[in-house]
Structure 1
């Protein structure tokens, strides 16, 4: 699932996994092979929980390459005729790939589990592919140090928080989500004015911002040193920050949040699209997502997955998932270059 976990991981060589016994190979009738491009994360767990059951069920061989989203996406851009059948990417990269025609438009009749996605995930299918896990942003803060209760996004604009908060930089995973939050603060749909109201809101928020961050792990030190009392952050970062700073709490405002998805797509030049579709359907299944929620810490996108409180903690799940809105990364990517320039002029000068 997650692009935030793989920034330091380099692209690995293709790893060939053997088929699961002669019986399974005979069942296939032919020597079929599926090539998957995936994240370089907990490969032993991914092999055990995802690849091996699929191989056993289909009686196939499976080849996979690993790396971070940007690395693997750039590789596919440079060689669209590669042997990759199905690719897992961050939402932003997936949206660019769809725009460039690198992926086949998903045939929903071949992915029955698309019908079981939570609403926010359904919204992302047309622009980014099939979402199989998600995270979202919330507010982490030290109530005692803040001297106030924070419940909503609008509270971040409170003058009493002058010089005490941090927000994600525009170039990070949740930078575009922060722009959406700012536009909401002004009561404006960001797609209606291409972000103008959002930057007005950020100008108003600037006195409260002591620093924008590029690594959520840096927030632990900022809280520890007392430089900040609150921050906008992805839910995946809460355990790291709270471990170092047990006085902080995490909340997702009732007004809603914005989700980031990792998605799956069938590569346009795939030679085995049938298996690619079946693999995507497997990744979206209730059975598998119940398993990976625990073993890979992936928040499920299948609405039928039920997690206990321990497994669900700090994930975009349940009520939070229901109020998590999707971001149109086709729209974001078309404005991002200009937004980065405006962001730097607004907040970094």
Structure 2
């Protein structure tokens, strides 16, 4: 779900049983979030299969959805967030998966797949790429200097205007993702994060309007570099993005710490899933790509690079200990119990959410 960081790469695939010569003429077109893959994922796939990969990036689900709704996306693999994928599946946008060509699905965690089934009943159309949470990111040194020694794992930091007003002096960024922001605001005021009551969204909007003057930017990708560079001190962001920023700041020997916190009492959890558009030109290559990604060692390498866990239970064995044991990457069981999954919303609620978000961003 991640706004996730910027710079996604391309995917590829080769028809099962095709000759090596034919594979060289095959191009797999992948559309994915930025900073969401290991450096060697694509080269290794191309070397292994002979398939060339075109890898393009986006930084919002709305951008992807607009392209899919044209009916001629030009891509063989896309990676929507589960709540968007649920609506797209219902709209008949994706081709069903031929699981006979996906033997590595056996490694997927049944409990996590049961959650994904909330958007994809029967797990017929989508395979998880990664999952994560949405929470609070800090330049800890600057934030504590301004706020004092207050608990940083608290939604009050984001939703109480007096707190955000203080943090504005060093920069505040929130995701340009209305589904994430409204879900968090609804949860904060005691409403169902997946509410279908328009009045609940108006109530959440009042909370968001009060903090709007203190938001420096709406950004779903660049906030990582801004955290590393010290240009912002607070963000509402995706877990893996913030952990990337944390490690980059450490590598650059910055005189401050970047940390991610899952707010107490619950936070959004999401899955980004691989799916094959019906208009895909090479569905066999797309299936080979999905099966390749679900190789435990391949997916572990991705997690080690981007700090987002996969639903591949076997892959965790190959994840570096410092990543596998980081609660920002793999939340402990007691925290997982408090997380809530974003669900598909009816079209009228999504339109309301989008309209309110546009008003909020414009400052009206």
Query: 1:284, 1:301 within 8 Å by CA — same for their partners in 2?
Result: no
Provide the rounded CA distance (Å) in 2 between the counterparts of 1:111 and 1:283.
Answer: 10
Task: Tell me the equivalent position of 1:132.
Answer: 129
Q: What is the TM-score when the length of structure 2 is the normalising length?
A: 0.68
Task: Tell me the equivalent position of 1:102.
Answer: 93
Provide the rounded CA distance (Å) in 1 between the counterparts of 2:114 and 2:256.
Answer: 36
Give the Å deviation of 1:104: 1.5
Query: 1:103, 1:268 within 8 Å by CA — same for their partners in 2?
Result: yes
Query: 2:174, 2:237 within 8 Å by CA — same for their partners in 1?
Result: yes
Task: Tell me the equivalent position of 2:151.
Answer: 149
After the TM superposition, which residues 142-291 of structure 1 pair with which residues of structure 2 at under 5 Å, given as runs?
A: 142-147=143-148, 148-154=150-156, 156-158=158-160, 160-161=162-163, 163-165=165-167, 166=172, 168=174, 172-173=176-177, 175-194=178-197, 196-204=199-207, 206-209=209-212, 210-211=214-215, 213-215=217-219, 217=222, 220=226, 230-235=234-239, 236-237=241-242, 239-240=244-245, 243=249, 246-269=256-279, 273=283, 276-291=286-301
Say what the alpha-carbon RMSD is for the aligned residues. Answer: 4.6
Query: 1:299, 1:317 within 8 Å by CA — same for their partners in 2?
Result: yes
**What do the CA deviations read for 1:205-238 (whole angstroms, capped 9, x no partner)?**
644551162226458489957xx86432222035
Provide the rounded CA distance (Å) in 1 between the counterparts of 2:162 and 2:234.
Answer: 12
Aligned length: 327
Provide the rounded CA distance (Å) in 2 between the counterparts of 1:218 and 1:277.
Answer: 33
The yes-or-no answer on 1:335 pairing with 2:349 is yes
Q: Which of 313, 320, 326 does residue 308 from structure 1 map onto?
A: 320
Give the Å deviation of 1:45: 2.1
In 2 relative to 1, CA 2–162 (structure 1 residues): closer, same or farther, beyond 3 Å? closer
Q: Which runs of 5+ in 2 are unaligned?
A: 121-125
Give the Å deviation of 1:289: 1.0
The higher-RCO structure (CA 8 Å, 6+ apart) is 2
After the TM superposition, which residues 73-92 of structure 1 pair with which residues of structure 2 at under 5 Å, given as runs?
A: 77-78=69-70, 80=72, 86-91=76-81
Give the Å deviation of 1:290: 1.1
After the TM superposition, which residues 2-41 of structure 1 pair with which residues of structure 2 at under 5 Å, given as runs?
A: 4-6=4-6, 35-39=28-32
Q: What is the TM-score when the length of structure 1 is the normalising length?
A: 0.70
Worse-matched range after superposition: 288-297 or 70-79:
70-79
Query: 1:3, 1:90 within 8 Å by CA — same for their partners in 2?
Result: no
Corresponding residue SS for 1:196: helix
Provide the rounded CA distance (Å) in 2 between the counterparts of 1:247 and 1:138.
Answer: 17
Task: Tell me the equivalent position of 1:62.
Answer: 51
Corresponding residue SS for 1:161: helix
In 2 relative to 1, CA 196–245 (structure 1 residues): closer, same or farther, beyond 3 Å? farther
Task: Tell me the equivalent position of 2:123.
Answer: none
